[in-house]
Structures are given as C-alpha cells and as structure tokens.
C-alpha cells in the first residue's frame, strides 16, 4: 500500500497537552549575562566549518504542508546526513571532544591517556565516539536497556567501548557519572548540572551552528515560528540562543515539542522551575526520552518558549512514510523517529483552533521544523516504513 496521504495522517496527529509559558520575558539577547553567548557560538561555528567534509545541511521547502495549514511557508532543516553520522548530534559531542582534547594537549598530557565518556540514547554517543576517533583518544559510552542494538553497533564501529546498564536514560547517566569518578574519565554530556556546565555549553554552541545556517539560507525571509523537539533541551536552547541573538525582542515564537511519555520541559514550565519527570514507558522517539531538562538549556528556554506541547507516538510512523514518499513539491526525505516530531505537532496544532490562534499561526507565518535525524537505526526505520504497506 502507498504511504498515507496528508489528510489521513492529519487525523492521527494530536496534542496530548499544551502549556503556554507564563514566564516568557525575552527582550534583547543578554550576550554577557547568559553562558551561551555570541563569542562561544562564533568560536564553534569557525572550528566546525573548517572540518573536512563540512557543508550546511539542506533546508527543504514543504509547500504542501504550508498550503494545507494556510501558512506562508514551512521549512524543514534536514540533519539526516550531517558528517555521515545521521543526526544534528554530530555538531555537539564531537566539538566538545575536540575542545577537551585541545585543552588536554595544552596541559602537556598524552591524548592516549584520555578517555571520554557519556550516557546516550544513541546519537549523542555516536558523535562523542566519532569525536574521540578524530582526536585520537578513547571513548566509553553507557547506554540503557532500551537503546537498539543497531545504535550500539554504530558506536562500536567508531571504536567506542559500549556498556549497557539496566533502567532508562537517567540510570545510564548516573552510571556514567559514577564510572567517570572512579576511573578518571572525562564526561562529555549534552546535559548539565551543578558544577558541570562548561562541556554541555560547548555541545550547545555546536548545535547553534544549525540556526546560523538557517538564517543564511532564509536570507531576507522573516522566520516567525519554530517547532523544536526537546529531550534534555540542548538542541532547542542552542538554536534559540542564536535566533535570540539575531532577533532580540523580535524573537520568533518558539513552540517546543516533547513526547507525552517524557514531557520534562513542559512540566517544568508549568511548575516555574526545573522538575524531574518519572519516565515509566519509553517513547518511539528515543532521543526525546529524557526525564529532566538540562540546567543550561532551562536558563535559555524558560524566558523564550512561547508554548510547550506534548504528542503521542501514533503519528510518527505515518509521517516518516509520508516524508519518505515525497510530498507534492518536495523531494523524498529520510526522516527518523524524532525528525517528525515538529511536523506532527504543527499538523496537530492546525487541528486545534484555540491553540493555533494562541500561537499566532496564520497566513503570514513562516515556520521552521528541524529534521533532527535520518535512519540512525536502519532496521527500525525500514520496519516503520514497511508497516504502512
């Protein structure tokens, strides 16, 4: 059977819960007040753009989505082939490893004695492993029991030692922190906590390059809205920081998207403070399965997010098939599970007139979606494509 058409897919998209952020207060970007500032974002852009094989990822127009939703334009930033690693994560972990390795060498230490470590649902660990191979150091990656064998093999193929632990992402992160303390490994995490901020800051600075590319690619087109997927929040915060720096008090409306099985940012916005969400079931969108938003990300997202929405898994497979088939006026797109989150939320919001109006969406809106990953788990990707046949 052919993949579902747009009208059919729209019927299975829904928003479980929407929260309007009562603390939104963004004005001019506080370049000196926030940890993620113009200087470190520019430094990341300079270094990463000098890496071999660097090139901006495509920004695809989705005119069929724009027409169906009555919008001026919908754009999809396609991270499926970033540095051959399959996701936007290639920009963050690998950049932080490069910075750590440079510091290690400047202090006169041998890179052969450096081991970097992280906890991951898959894609961040792959970036750290790739960064370690580029730098000439070792990598030990901790994964939880739900991470797929294919994602585990991808990290091993890059030379990393992979350790699987019982429990969810938070359990693997706790195990990572214990092991690092015991063995003297250097944690390269995409989330932050008290007294651990510098490396996650570098990870987010790497992600901010995506926003710089988008602004260059849009040219004089005015970006009015963006739907950003959130796990620990590093990607969303990295992009928002760059947009905020450019737009100031005219910052586009930021709508964050989470799985309804792990809405840690949404719960935190509603509470007015970072709040841990106890994950009891795993979402198909593995990269969004995180129970607590990063401290650094929270500092950027709390004053800037306009709305936070959570979605179930039902639309993910159909949207992957829809994009793979190619929408009218668009080329086929390889979109992994998390890559469809923004599109699912946009279509669901269109079916909710109250939310649509509250978000200020309409005929003058130019919307950005982030295609965070491609087929990072090829077996799962093809199984989900075949499920519609």
Could you tell me how far CA 89 lies from the centroid of its own chain?
A: 7
Q: Model's pTM, two decimal places?
A: 0.95
Q: What is the pLDDT of residue 79?
A: 98
As a whole number, mean pLDDT of residues 55-68 equals: 97
Which residue, 131, 299, 268, is CA-closest to 206? 131
Instruction: Assess contact for 369 and 227: CB atoms under 8 A.
Output: yes
Instruction: State residue 389's pLDDT score.
Output: 62
Q: What percent of the chain has pLDDT over 70?
A: 98
Measured between alpha carbons, how far is residue 286 from residues 65, 198, 223, 262 in Å? 25, 25, 28, 10
CATH number for 6-88+199-386 (one of 3.30.70.1560, 3.40.50.1100, 3.40.1110.10, 3.40.50.720): it is: 3.40.50.1100
**How is residue 84 annotated by DSSP?**
G
* Residue found by looking up tokens 């334009």 in the block: 73
Helix (H) or strand (E) holding 157: helix 149-157
Render the burial of 105-115: b for 16+ CB within 10 Å, e for the rest: eeeeeeeeebb
DSSP letter (8 states) at residue 72? S
Asked if residue 4 has pLDDT above 80, the reply is no
Phi, psi of 91 (to 5 degrees): -80, -25
Give me the CATH code for the 93-189 domain, please: 3.40.50.1100
What is the reported pLDDT for 3? 42
Residue 284 pLDDT = 93
Nearest residue to 227 (alpha-carbon basis) of 355, 37, 130, 81: 355
Q: What is the pLDDT of residue 35?
A: 87
Looking at the predicted structure, is the pLDDT value of residue 1 above 50?
Answer: no
Cβ neighbours of residue 380 under 8 Å, at least 6 residues apart? Answer: 148, 150, 337
Q: Would you say residue 2 has pLDDT above 60?
A: no
* Mean pLDDT of the chain, nearest integer: 94
The half-sphere exposure of 249 on its side-chain side, counting CA atoms within 13 A, is: 2
- Mean pLDDT throughout 151-176? 95
Contacts of 340 (CB under 8 A, 6+ apart): 315, 316, 319, 320, 323
Tens digit of pLDDT for each residue in 315-325? 999 999 999 99
Q: Is the pLDDT of residue 7 over 90?
A: no
Cα 242 to Cα 30, 92, 236, distances in angstroms = 11, 15, 10
Look up tokens 């792959």; give the residue. Answer: 126
Per-residue model confidence as pLDDT tens digits over 210-263: 999 999 999 999 999 999 999 999 999 999 999 999 999 999 999 999 999 999
Q: How many helices (H) and strands (E) does the chain have?
A: 15, 11
Residue limits of CATH 3.40.50.1100 in the chain: 6-88+199-386, 93-189
Query: What pLDDT does residue 13 have?
Result: 86
Each residue of 255-312: pLDDT tens digit?
999 999 999 999 999 999 999 999 999 999 989 999 999 999 999 999 999 999 999 9
- Burial category of 78 from C-beta neighbours within 10 Å (exposed 0-12, middle 13-18, buried 19 and up): buried
Which region holds residue 83: left if phi is over 0, alpha if psi is between -120 and 50, else beta?
left
End-to-end CA distance of the chain: 4
Mean pLDDT over residues 96-100, rounded? 97
Mean pLDDT, residues 188-205 taken together: 93
CA angle 376, 379, 384 (to 5 degrees): 95
Residue range 13-22: mean pLDDT, rounded:
93
Query: What's the chain's Rg over C-alpha atoms?
Result: 20
Q: Are 302 and 23 in contact (CB under 8 A)?
A: yes
| 171 or 388: which leads in pLDDT | 171
Q: What's the pLDDT at 227? A: 98
Task: Say what the pLDDT of residue 310 is.
Answer: 97
């Amino acid at each position: 059977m052919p993949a579902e058409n747009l009208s059919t897919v729209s019927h299975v998209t829904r928003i479980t819960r929407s929260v309007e952020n009562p603390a939104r207060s963004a004005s001019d970007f506080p370049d000196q007040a926030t940890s993620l500032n113009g200087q470190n974002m520019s430094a990341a852009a300079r270094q990463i753009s000098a890496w071999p094989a660097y090139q901006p990822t495509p920004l695809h127009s989705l005119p069929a989505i724009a027409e169906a939703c009555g919008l001026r334009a919908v754009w999809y930033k396609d991270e499926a082939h970033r540095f051959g690693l399959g996701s936007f994560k290639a920009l963050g972990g690998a950049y932080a490893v490069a910075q750590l390795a440079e510091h290690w060498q400047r202090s006169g230490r041998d890179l052969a004695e450096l081991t970097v470590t992280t906890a991951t649902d898959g894609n961040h660990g792959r970036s750290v492993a790739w960064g370690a191979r580029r730098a000439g150091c070792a990598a030990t990656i901790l994964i939880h029991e739900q991470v797929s064998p294919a994602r585990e093999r991808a990290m091993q193929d890059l030379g990393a030692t992979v350790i699987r632990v019982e429990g969810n992402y938070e359990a693997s992160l706790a195990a990572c922190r214990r092991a690092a303390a015991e063995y003297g490994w250097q944690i390269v995490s995409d989330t932050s906590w008290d007294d651990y901020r510098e490396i996650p800051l570098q990870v987010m600075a790497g992600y901010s390059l995506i926003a710089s590319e988008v602004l260059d690619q849009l040219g004089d087109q005015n970006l009015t809205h963006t739907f950003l997927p959130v796990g620990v929040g590093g990607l969303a915060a990295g992009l928002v920081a760059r947009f905020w720096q450019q737009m100031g008090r005219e910052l586009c409306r930021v709508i964050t998207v989470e799985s309804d099985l792990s809405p840690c940012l949404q719960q935190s916005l509603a509470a007015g403070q970072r709040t841990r969400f106890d994950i009891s079931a795993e979402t198909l969108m593995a990269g969004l399965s995180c129970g607590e938003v990063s401290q650094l990300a929270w500092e950027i997202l709390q004053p800037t997010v306009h709305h936070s929405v959570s979605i179930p898994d039902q639309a993910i497979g159909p949207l992957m098939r829809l994009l793979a088939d190619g929408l009218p006026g668009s080329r086929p797109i390889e979109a992994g599970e998390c890559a469809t989150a923004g599109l699912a939320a946009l279509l669901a919001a269109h079916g909710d007139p109250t939310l649509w109006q509250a978000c200020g969406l309409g005929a003058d809106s130019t919307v950005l979606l982030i295609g965070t990953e491609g087929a990072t788990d090829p077996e799962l990707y093809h199984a989900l494509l075949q499920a519609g046949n």
